[in-house]
């Protein structure tokens, strides 16, 4: 009887051990599947965001805004690099699931997008405001991304900026009627304790104790809505594209010259490329400004325009 009792006990013990291993592997597999699912959802969100950005980047001649709504409350991590011919904008998505942040671990790269924002923006609804940029020819559209939870108040902006923002009707931007929670963007030197100071005449935005220089309203907005590191990086990426386009226009100039339509723009395009090659920060935009102006005037006054 005692031997049979021991046999039954060992059988149960063996079954319990085997069952425990099966349960452990089942739980592990479910956990891995959950992680794969979260990774898939994060990657899908990144791909969907890229698709939504496509119509914003191409062919818009006036400022416009739209709203991006994520499936759930999310954090968007932004970064930038200048490697290669055009550099890349990096995006990683984290989604809040049961009050915990789930990361896809996947880095989405945009080579043909110029997106200006904070390094981390979070929320469910995001505004995308875009403006075209010419330097001196059409480069593309700059995209400014903000969370609906960040409210910007523009104080005493120039009339044309005030009119543009009023027509834009973006819900997280107000003019003059500032509240304590707003991010204040001041255009008057008499205003104190502003989050962002804009010297429109001298062409720079001061924030985080850093001056970000701009040329054109498109770059001014870029400096306002992005952190300094992203602004400087994306500006270098923009200029990389300008340099590549300058080479194309040089080839075009040589081609039309064979058809009796000569142009003296080629040396200026070479100068533009040389100055871009030595570009280090937005502080160097002044050196490009005169070259860009000369190119604009020459292209307007020739019989066969290049752009």
Per-residue confidence in pLDDT tens, the chain, 307 aa? 444 444 445 454 444 444 444 444 444 443 443 444 444 455 555 555 655 566 555 444 456 788 888 888 999 999 999 999 999 999 998 888 888 887 766 778 889 999 999 999 999 999 999 999 999 999 999 999 999 999 999 999 999 999 999 999 999 999 998 999 999 999 998 888 899 999 999 999 999 999 999 989 999 999 999 999 999 999 999 999 999 999 999 999 989 988 888 778 999 999 999 999 999 999 999 889 889 999 999 999 888 899 9
For residue 136, whether the previous peptide bond is cis, meaning omega lies within 30 degrees of 0, is: yes
Domain coordinates of the chain in residue numbers? 234-301
Q: Calculate the alpha carbon distances from 248 to 155, 168, 243, 244, 291 in Å.
A: 42, 34, 9, 7, 17
- Lookup: tokens for 141: 């559209």
The residues, ordered by sequence, that sit 6+ positions from 182 with a Cβ below 8 Å of its Cβ are 151, 152, 153, 174
| 266-282 tens-digit pLDDT | 999 999 999 999 999 99
Give the helix ranges, DSSP H, for 1-82. 2-57
Nearest one of 269, 252, 241, 270 to 141, comparing CA atoms: 241
Residue 85: strand, helix, or coil: coil
- Lookup: tokens for 156: 């005493």
Q: Strands of the chain (E only): list them.
A: 64-81, 88-97, 100-103, 108-110, 114-116, 120-134, 138-147, 152-155, 173-175, 183-186, 196-199, 204-207, 210-213
- Lookup: tokens for 231: 């602004």
| 219-255 tens-digit pLDDT | 999 999 999 999 999 999 999 999 999 999 999 998 9
């Amino acid at each position: 009887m005692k031997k049979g009792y021991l046999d039954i006990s060992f059988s149960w013990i063996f079954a319990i051990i085997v069952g425990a291993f099966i349960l452990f592997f089942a739980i592990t597999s479910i956990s891995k599947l959950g992680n794969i699912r979260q990774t898939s959802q994060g990657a899908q969100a990144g791909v969907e965001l890229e698709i939504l950005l496509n119509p914003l980047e191409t062919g818009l001649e006036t400022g416009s805004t739209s709203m991006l709504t994520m499936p759930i409350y999310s954090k968007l991590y932004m970064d930038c690099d200048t490697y290669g011919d055009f550099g890349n904008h990096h995006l990683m998505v984290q989604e809040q699931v049961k009050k915990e942040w789930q990361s896809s671990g996947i880095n989405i790269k945009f080579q043909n997008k110029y997106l200006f924002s904070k390094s981390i923006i979070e929320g469910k609804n995001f505004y995308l405001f875009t403006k075209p940029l010419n330097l001196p020819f059409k480069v593309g559209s700059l995209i400014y991304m903000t969370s609906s939870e960040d409210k910007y108040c523009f104080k005493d902006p120039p009339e044309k900026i005030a009119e543009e923002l009023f027509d834009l009707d973006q819900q997280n931007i107000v003019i003059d009627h500032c509240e304590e929670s707003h991010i204040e963007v001041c255009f008057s030197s008499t205003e104190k304790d502003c989050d962002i100071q804009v010297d429109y005449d001298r062409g720079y935005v001061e924030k985080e104790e850093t001056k970000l220089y701009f040329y054109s309203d498109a770059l001014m907005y870029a400096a306002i809505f992005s952190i300094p590191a992203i602004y400087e990086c994306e500006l270098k990426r923009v200029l990389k594209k300008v340099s590549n386009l300058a080479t194309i226009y040089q080839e075009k100039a040589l081609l039309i010259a064979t058809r009796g339509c000569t142009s003296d723009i080629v040396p200026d395009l070479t100068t533009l490329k040389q100055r871009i090659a030595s570009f280090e920060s937005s502080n160097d935009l002044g050196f490009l400004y005169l070259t860009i102006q000369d190119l604009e005037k020459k292209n307007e006054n020739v019989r066969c325009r290049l752009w």
